[in-house]
Chain A
Amino acid sequence: MTITRQAFFRMTGLAALAQAGRRLMAAVAPRRWAMVVDAQKCLRDQGCTRCIQACHRAHNVPTLPRPNHQVAWIWKERYERAFPSQRNEYTAETFKDKPVLVLCNHCDNPPCVRVCPTRATWKREDGLVMMDWHRCIGCRYCVAACPYGSRSFNWVDPRPHLPELTADFPTRSKGVVEKCTFCEARLAQGRPPACVEACPDKALVFGNLADPDSEVRKLLRARYTIRRKPELGTQPQIFYIV
C-alpha cells in the first residue's frame, strides 16, 4: 500500500483531532462504566447461561477439553466462593451453594494493572481495564495479582477449540492472558455489553456511575448492594444486589 504525503497528514490530523475530542468529551461528560448484578433475579433460572454464551461467542472464547485450562470472561461461581467473607454456617438458603455471576470487576484501583511489566493491561479514563493481547508476554503476574480469579491464561492454542468463529472479533494466540473488556467495542458504538443484552430477566444493569441519573446510580441509591472483597481496596465496579 502506498500513501501520499497529503493522505498521511490528513490521517495524522484526524487522529490528533479524535484524541483531542475524546479528551474534551471526558472532561465535559465524564464516564465511569459499572454494572449492577441483581443476584436474586439471576437465581430465577439457575440453569440459564445466556449471558455467558453471548459473551463467549461474541469474543471467541474457546471451550477447552481440560477444565483446569478453561478460559472464562464471565461465569457462575458458588456464592461462598464469590463472597468468601460472607460465608457462615447459617447463610440464607436462598444463596447457600447457589451460583453467582462473576466477571472482571474493572476495579478502580486494579492490582493487575499495577503489576504488569509491559503495560499490556491498563485502565482507561472511563474505568475499563483493558488488555493488549499483542504486547502481553504471558508472565501471568496479573493472574497472581487478581484477587477475583477473573483473568484467564491461554495454556494451549485456543483457535482449534472455537465452536463457532465470530469474524469481527480477534482470536487469541496461546501464551497470553485475557479477560472481560466490558465490551469496549460495543460501548464505542453506543450498545450495551453483550451479557447485559442477552439477559432475559434484566438482571444485569450497565451504566455510567459519573451520571447521577443513570440507571446504575438509581439502583445503587434504591437497593443495598455488596461488592466482592471490598476490604482489599481494589474498588470493584461490579455491584451485587443480594
Chain B
Amino acid sequence: MFMFEKAITGSRRYWLWVLALMALLGLGLLGWLHQFQQGLGVTGLNRDISWGLYIAQFTFLVGVAASAVMVVLPYYLHNFKAFARITILGEFLAISAVTMCMLFVFVDMGQPTRVLNMMLHPTLNSIMFWDFVSLGGYLLLNGVIALVTLSAERKGVAPPAWIKPVILLSIPWAVSIHTVTAFLYSGLPGRSLWLTAILAPRFLASAFSAGPALLILLCLVIRKLTRFDPGKEPIQKLALIVTYAMLINVFFVAMEFFTAFYSQIPEHLEHFHYLLHGLEGSAGLVPWMWVSMTLAVVALPLLIVPRARRNEKVLALTCGIVFLSLWIDKGIILIVGGFVPSPLGAVTAYAPTLPELAITLAIWALGALMITVFYKIALSVRESLEEPGTDGSVPAGTLPSVPAVH
C-alpha cells in the first residue's frame, strides 16, 4: 500500500497509542454487533428523539472535514507559502473526518445491510442522497489530492499539472458538503429549531472555527512529538482564521436568539426555553448549553486580544475551548435539541447508552488512528527529505532540491 511501510515502524510510544486506539475500536465493534443483532433499541433513541449522538457527531465532523479548505484555499488560490508545510495535514484531517462522518451515518441505519439502496434507487429530491454524493466526492477528491501531492513530494518532483484543477474543485466542494448537511435539517417543515435560513452559514462559520482550532492543536502536538516543526507563522494565520470564524459564528447564534425571543413565536421559542432552562422538568441539555455558551464567550477575548493569541501556550488552551464549545453546540445540542419539544409538544429525555457511547468512541478512535497513521506517513516523508539518510526510501546523495508542492 501507498507508503504504508512508514506507518509500521515507530517508537514504543507510537505503538502504545495505536494499540490503545485499536482497543477502543474493538470495544466499539462489540457494541455495534450488539446493536446490529438487537436493533437500534439498544441506544437511548426513541419515538420522539429519533436522531441522537451518532447523527450529531456526523454533523459536527462534516464541519471538521470542510475546514480543510481553510488551508487549501490560501495556499493554492493565494499562493500563501506559509501553509505549504501544513496543507497536507489539513487534507489528511479532512479524509479522516469524512470517513468518520460516513461511519456515523452507517451506524445510525436501522437496516445497515440495505445501505446501498441509496445508490440502487438514487433519489434526486432527497437531501440525504445529495449529502451522500457530496461526502463521497469530497473523500475521493481529498484522497486523490493527498496521494498525488505527497508522492510527488516524496520523489522530489512537482506534482502533475492535472492535479491543480482537482484541487481547485475541492474548494467549492468543501463548502458544499457542509451546506448540504445543513439542508438536511433546515428544510424540514415541523422542526422549528432547524427551520432557519442561517443554519448553513452558521454551520460553515462554526466549521471554519472548530476545524482550524483542531489543526492548530494537532500542529502543536506534532511539534512536541516529532522533529517536524509546522512553524510559527502558519499557526498564527490559522489562529486568525479561528478568530474571525468564531466571531461570525457567535454573531449568527445571536441572530437566532433575537429572532426567537423577539418574534416570540412559540414553536421557535420553546426549543430555546428547553435548552436554556428546561421544559416540564426535563433539563438534560441545560448544563451542556450553558457550558457551550460560556466557553464561547471566554474564547472570544482570548482570540481577539493579539497578545493572548500570539502566545502559543494560551492559544493552545483557547483552541481547546473553541473546539469543546463548538463540539457541544453541534455534536450534542443542535441535533437533540431540534427534537425537543416534538412537533406534538412532547418533552422527552434522551441519554446515550453504553453501547451507543462505545460505538461513538470507537469511531472517534478510528479517526484518531487514521490521523496518526496519515500524519506518520506524511511526516516520515518530510523528515526523510530534510535529513537524508535517516530513511531508507530516499538514498542519501541522490536527493533533488525540494520544490514547492503545487
Which residues of A sit under 8 angstroms from B343, Cβ to Cβ? 84, 146-149, 229
Q: Are B39 and A117 in contact (CB under 8 A)?
A: no
Q: Are B189 and A136 in contact (CB under 8 A)?
A: no
Q: Are B189 and A176 in contact (CB under 8 A)?
A: no
Which residues of A sit under 8 angstroms from B126, Cβ to Cβ? 114-117, 141
Bound-complex Cα distance A24 to B345 (A): 44
Interface set, chain A 131-148, CB cutoff 8 A to B: 135-141, 143-148
Which residues of A sit under 8 angstroms from B125, Cβ to Cβ? 114
Which residues of B sit under 8 angstroms from A77, Cβ to Cβ? 344
* Residue from A117, A138, A154, A173 in contact with B129 in the complex, judged by beta carbons closer than 8 Å: A117
A216 CB within 8 Å of chain B:
no
Q: Are A156 and B41 in contact (CB under 8 A)?
A: yes
* Residue from A84, A117, A148, A157 in contact with B118 in the complex, judged by beta carbons closer than 8 Å: A117
Q: Are B128 and A117 in contact (CB under 8 A)?
A: yes
Per-residue contact bits, chain A 156-170, to B (CB 8 Å; 1 contact, 0 not): 110000000000000
Interface set, chain B 109-152, CB cutoff 8 A to A: 109-112, 114-115, 117-118, 120-121, 123, 125-129, 132
Q: Are A137 and B110 in contact (CB under 8 A)?
A: yes
**Interface residue SS majority, chain B:** loop
Bound-complex Cα distance A145 to B184 (A): 10
Q: Are B46 and A155 in contact (CB under 8 A)?
A: yes
Which residues of B sit under 8 angstroms from A173, Cβ to Cβ? 111
Q: Are A68 and B121 in contact (CB under 8 A)?
A: no
Q: Are B127 and A143 in contact (CB under 8 A)?
A: no
A126 CB within 8 Å of chain B:
no
Contact status of A145 and B190, CB under 8 A, knowing A81-B345, A117-B123: yes
Q: In the complex, what residue of chain A is closest to B132 when comparing beta carbons?
A: A117
Smallest CB–CB gap between A156 and chain B, Å? 4
Smallest CB–CB gap between A76 and chain B, Å? 12
Interface size class of B (residues with CB under 8 A): 35 or more
Bound-complex Cα distance A70 to B13 (A): 49
Q: Are A69 and B46 in contact (CB under 8 A)?
A: yes
Which residues of A sit under 8 angstroms from B41, Cβ to Cβ? 66, 69, 155-156, 174
A171 CB within 8 Å of chain B:
no
Q: Are B188 and A144 in contact (CB under 8 A)?
A: yes
Per-residue contact bits, chain A 32-45, to B (CB 8 Å; 1 contact, 0 not): 00000000000000
Q: Are A84 and B344 in contact (CB under 8 A)?
A: yes
Q: Are B188 and A153 in contact (CB under 8 A)?
A: no
Which residues of A sit under 8 angstroms from B111, Cβ to Cβ? 136-138, 173, 175-176
Q: Are B123 and A118 in contact (CB under 8 A)?
A: yes
Which residues of A sit under 8 angstroms from B267, Cβ to Cβ? 84
Task: Write 23 A-B pairs (CB below 8 A) sorted by A numbering.
Answer: A80-B345, A82-B344, A111-B188, A111-B190, A116-B123, A116-B126, A135-B121, A136-B110, A137-B109, A137-B110, A137-B117, A138-B109, A139-B108, A139-B128, A141-B128, A147-B189, A149-B343, A157-B39, A174-B39, A175-B109, A229-B190, A229-B343, A233-B189
- Give the B-binding residues of A (Cβ under 8 A): 66, 68-70, 77, 80-82, 84, 111, 114-120, 135-141, 143-149, 152-157, 173-177, 229, 232-234
Known: A145-B189, A175-B39. 19 other contacts (CB 8 A): A70-B47, A84-B345, A111-B189, A114-B125, A115-B188, A117-B123, A117-B128, A120-B117, A135-B114, A135-B121, A137-B111, A137-B117, A139-B128, A140-B108, A144-B51, A153-B40, A155-B41, A156-B38, A174-B41
- Give the A-binding residues of B (Cβ under 8 A): 38-41, 45-48, 50-51, 105, 108-112, 114-115, 117-118, 120-121, 123, 125-129, 132, 184, 187-191, 266-267, 339, 342-346, 348
